[in-house]
Structure 1
């Protein structure tokens, strides 16, 4: 444990009112890494070198983690806030000269105008119907990551749904997937590592395609170090970044219409790093595909959104006669139906139906050995609420969730269902025998189930 005072920053930002209130119950776990020592490069830039506790080229954990976030001290959180599609946030860093691998782990969250961006309307529909208060720029968003001014990767994020975003009564004891445990996204930086080993300052930059306010983004740079070398070297061999292939088919008359959005992109990089392990050639690939079908009906009073994102990435590494391949195959699903109706007593009634799905299959091949895991999570909810002067007065909601995880060593599942604030079904198991299907069984699925101690 460090002999110096360390700063732990925990920021719990929220907006509470009479309809949204509650209590945070937070557990903080801290993992301590091996002792670090500070050194200075020839250019007098302070860097950090760690004692490397493994000499295996494909060891699982990094030797150094560099935060890519705002600098202390702050009166806010550490993440970068990105307010529009032209806003770019950057962070400078230095890589130790004996690094042989680097992975950027990106965290993404959203608030305000883009909090439910898959339902954001096309701009021509908004302008034609004079809907100046509705969020626009359509349903596609992409977090773009650049290194020293050049794109190195992207994130097409899963849609986290926070409590007030649709209907607070939908969630009760079962929070929406990812709302208390944001998923992270890995971008392999190793093919470009050769340009970072000069002991100089470099910078990561983040932007959001079509973004509105506000996107919250930060990252961790995981770095693997060669304990037997003072300096490694490398070179970028090839990089292919396809432009966004974006298509919008729009058909509307007045407030009723149908909009079909399709987007594809591919990012591929290859390069080598030479260390005491030999020359390691790494190729990383990201493939993205989005389909969003949006229907506006009842003179704009109802909206149906059906969106699927396929987000796949792979990393191939070769050193001498050894080959290592990892794949992550992700599918994100978002379905939303809302219908607002005016009542004779001056109130409005809104009905909601939502489904969230997160699937991820990971495959790890090392020579003749192979391992895999499958994480599946599907959640659905049905609710309604009464509003007077756009203020919620009462409501109800039911929700269901199917969660399962399996790998080469273990299996776990949990199926749970609630009606209002009563749990009516809850079954879990740790065997590889598939559970008996409940009435809300699905094919989609990821992340976790959270039973809140306080009923909101």
Structure 2
């Protein structure tokens, strides 16, 4: 993800593709990536089977800072060609059978916007809509671009509350188009307020080389509730629903305008702490902190960063370090209340941009946010005074963009609630690092774990309700540097588990359990081909597994999402010119809950879709096996790929 300020001052760790009828590209070197192997012994066996290479050092410290150059072939331009459609694979939004009231909030061209204020638009909900009760509200981002441009991070804020963060697609000569739809119903109370300011920031740079201007339309669609839903909602109005209701107030934990940048905080190093003061209404009875996170520049590929001892020993002055572990630590009044170990989003220019055309990397078009239940802590902040929320990133390098939204539920029948923190447990981070290297070749094993538990009660018109929030995190990263620094393998997995239990005055319990698994498997290898040329091969496996079980007075429900991408690509570089290349991606997405199933199995190579199988039917056996347990990701050994590469196990489902 490029920051225009540093495009000429720091190493470029992207591959930027220039469309020359799939013949010539512009290559922005990246830290070498890696691929997963199921066991340590298998990985060692794989390394021993590598062919003997030339003694020429292709990578070492030099490839981290080298920059390949290409020239745009004007003869390849075809202004009449159909733009290519890019997309991220996900399930469609469950919409009511009503006609939406649609609102074009912003129509804007993002040319040279870096270092300039966000674009602003007046916002008021559509009060001319026949119904003012909406069961679903959807943000729709439509954009086109043509020419040459890096991927750019951008965000959308409403009255300082971030509602959408995304990465742009990288354009090609004939143009591209992409659309993202996001369910933003959780921001209902905010979206129904009049006379607000919507801000959109995208730091783009346009010059004679990078010509791409992003043409954007931003819509919000309001779907009136069906009558059946309205009756159901009325029955919930005066009952306590721990997990089925929306917040009454959302406070922004972001930077204040005016700004010549996004509203996110910038965390630049491991000692940098960014904070925002806030004050909450004294009748709050529940609080959830929603965190937005993205990583860029020297930490865009933090999961492939070697330890500092290795960097110093090999005098790698331009290599990003601090090891391969990062965590976002969230504090309230300097007390740690939660942590985020983020999913490793790979942006559209990452590793090899041909991998993400037209299928974008998981999370790249709609970056995830992360919820932290801080209701047990309410007793500490219901005093009417000003308090502070802070963010830091363990081992951070420049730069992380972080902000948050504080979702609050208010007791309309009381002026003041009261609460008390009963129990707090936050053990220090458990961390270990084992290194084994000789010269520039070696291996590194990093493990970490953390647990945070909060228990507290809040007394409101609903009675005295006790909430316990328990967060458990574990992390493992195994990295190998080989072949004189020309080969790198990374095998990383994160477990991100959270349980919230709510004990009612009747002693009944409502609970929400969330079990997430984030998988990243990367392999990169450079081979000397002689005649001042080399081949670069990269394989990527990226996926997550998300299981949720909810129990309330209305019964229990469960959902499961499994999302897995496998991508393979290679390029041939002569001198500083990429003369050929290919990228292939296969993805299987599966979702199921108590009443709905969705799956999509898709494959592409060099802009061409080879197959696309979609199903929204549930096998009879599916619903009888809830709740779910974790399945195992299957790994595929790294291998060289061809234009017709297909992974059979992916095609058949993961």
- Shorter-chain TM-score above 0.5: yes
Q: Is the 8 A contact 2:559 2:592 kept in 1?
A: yes
Q: Closer, same or farther in 2 for the Cα pair 1:198/1:30, shift >3 Å? A: farther
Question: Offset of 1:347 from its aligned partner?
Answer: 3.1
Determine the structure 1 residue equivalent to 2:40: none
Determine the structure 1 residue equivalent to 2:314: 129
* SS of corresponding position for 2:481: strand
- CA-to-partner distance for each residue in 1:387-418, whole Å, 9 max, x for gaps? 45666554220001100111112111111100
| Match of residue 606, structure 2, among 395, 414, 420 | 420
* SS of corresponding position for 1:376: strand
Determine the structure 1 residue equivalent to 2:642: none
Determine the structure 2 residue equivalent to 1:449: none
2:203 matches 1:13: yes
User: Mapping of 1:234-273 within 5 angstroms?
Assistant: 234-273=419-458
* SS of corresponding position for 2:259: coil
Determine the structure 2 residue equivalent to 1:360: 546
User: Mapping of 1:304-319 within 5 angstroms?
Assistant: 304-319=489-504
Question: Offset of 1:290 from its aligned partner?
Answer: 0.5
- CA-to-partner distance for each residue in 1:42-67, whole Å, 9 max, x for gaps? xxxxxxxxxxx932221421111111
Determine the structure 1 residue equivalent to 2:329: 144
Deviates more, 1:343-352 or 1:124-133: 343-352
CA distance in 2, matches of 1:19, 1:93: 41
CA distance in 1, matches of 2:211, 2:601: 27
Question: Offset of 1:164 from its aligned partner?
Answer: 2.1
- CA-to-partner distance for each residue in 1:206-234, whole Å, 9 max, x for gaps? 00000111101111111001111100000
Structure with higher helix content: 2
* SS of corresponding position for 2:312: helix
- CA-to-partner distance for each residue in 1:147-202, whole Å, 9 max, x for gaps? 01111100000000012221111110100000011111110110110111111111
Structure with higher strand content: 1
2:238 matches 1:55: yes
Q: Closer, same or farther in 2 for the Cα pair 1:281/1:31, shift >3 Å? A: farther
* SS of corresponding position for 2:196: coil
* SS of corresponding position for 1:124: helix
| Match of residue 377, structure 2, among 192, 199, 208 | 192
The root-mean-square deviation of aligned C-alpha atoms, in Å, is: 2.5
Q: Is the 8 A contact 1:358 1:444 kept in 2?
A: no
Determine the structure 1 residue equivalent to 2:648: 439
Question: Offset of 1:15 from its aligned partner?
Answer: 5.8
| Match of residue 571, structure 2, among 385, 392, 407 | 385
Greater Rg by CA: 2
Q: Is the 8 A contact 1:249 1:261 kept in 2?
A: yes
* SS of corresponding position for 1:343: strand
- CA-to-partner distance for each residue in 1:223-257, whole Å, 9 max, x for gaps? 00111110000011111001111111111111111
Q: Is the 8 A contact 1:114 1:212 kept in 2?
A: yes
Question: Offset of 1:444 from its aligned partner?
Answer: 9.7
Q: Is the 8 A contact 1:400 1:440 kept in 2?
A: no
Question: Offset of 1:13 from its aligned partner?
Answer: 2.9
2:259 matches 1:74: yes
CA distance in 1, matches of 2:648, 2:211: 31
CA distance in 2, matches of 1:443, 1:78: 44
Question: Offset of 1:350 from its aligned partner?
Answer: 1.1
User: Mapping of 1:34-45 within 5 angstroms?
Assistant: none
User: Mapping of 1:15-414 within 5 angstroms?
Assistant: 23=214, 27-29=218-220, 54-58=237-241, 59-321=244-506, 322-367=508-553, 369-387=555-573, 392=578, 394-414=580-600
Question: Offset of 1:299 from its aligned partner?
Answer: 0.8
Q: Closer, same or farther in 2 for the Cα pair 1:5/1:277, shift >3 Å? A: closer
Question: Offset of 1:28 from its aligned partner?
Answer: 3.6
* SS of corresponding position for 1:62: coil
Q: Closer, same or farther in 2 for the Cα pair 1:443/1:265, shift >3 Å? A: farther
CA distance in 1, matches of 2:286, 2:399: 32
Question: Offset of 1:443 from its aligned partner?
Answer: 11
CA distance in 1, matches of 2:320, 2:495: 24
Determine the structure 1 residue equivalent to 2:36: none
CA distance in 2, matches of 1:379, 1:355: 6
Structure 1 residue ranges (4+ consecutive) displaced by more than 6 angstroms after TM superposition: 30-33, 442-445
Q: Is the 8 A contact 2:586 2:647 kept in 1?
A: no
* SS of corresponding position for 1:299: helix
CA distance in 1, matches of 2:616, 2:367: 24
CA distance in 2, matches of 1:309, 1:438: 24
Q: Closer, same or farther in 2 for the Cα pair 1:350/1:438, shift >3 Å? A: closer
> Structure 1 length as normaliser, TM-score?
0.88
Deviates more, 1:57-66 or 1:218-227: 57-66
Q: Closer, same or farther in 2 for the Cα pair 1:245/1:325, shift >3 Å? A: same
- CA-to-partner distance for each residue in 1:118-146, whole Å, 9 max, x for gaps? 11111111111111111111110000000
- CA-to-partner distance for each residue in 1:98-121, whole Å, 9 max, x for gaps? 000000011111110110111111
Structure 2: gaps (5+ residues): 1-124, 126-191, 225-235, 623-645
CA distance in 2, matches of 1:26, 1:380: 31
CA distance in 1, matches of 2:573, 2:476: 32
Structure 1: gaps (5+ residues): 34-52, 446-456
* SS of corresponding position for 1:385: strand
CA distance in 2, matches of 1:55, 1:387: 66
Q: Closer, same or farther in 2 for the Cα pair 1:390/1:91, shift >3 Å? A: farther
Q: Closer, same or farther in 2 for the Cα pair 1:86/1:424, shift >3 Å? A: same
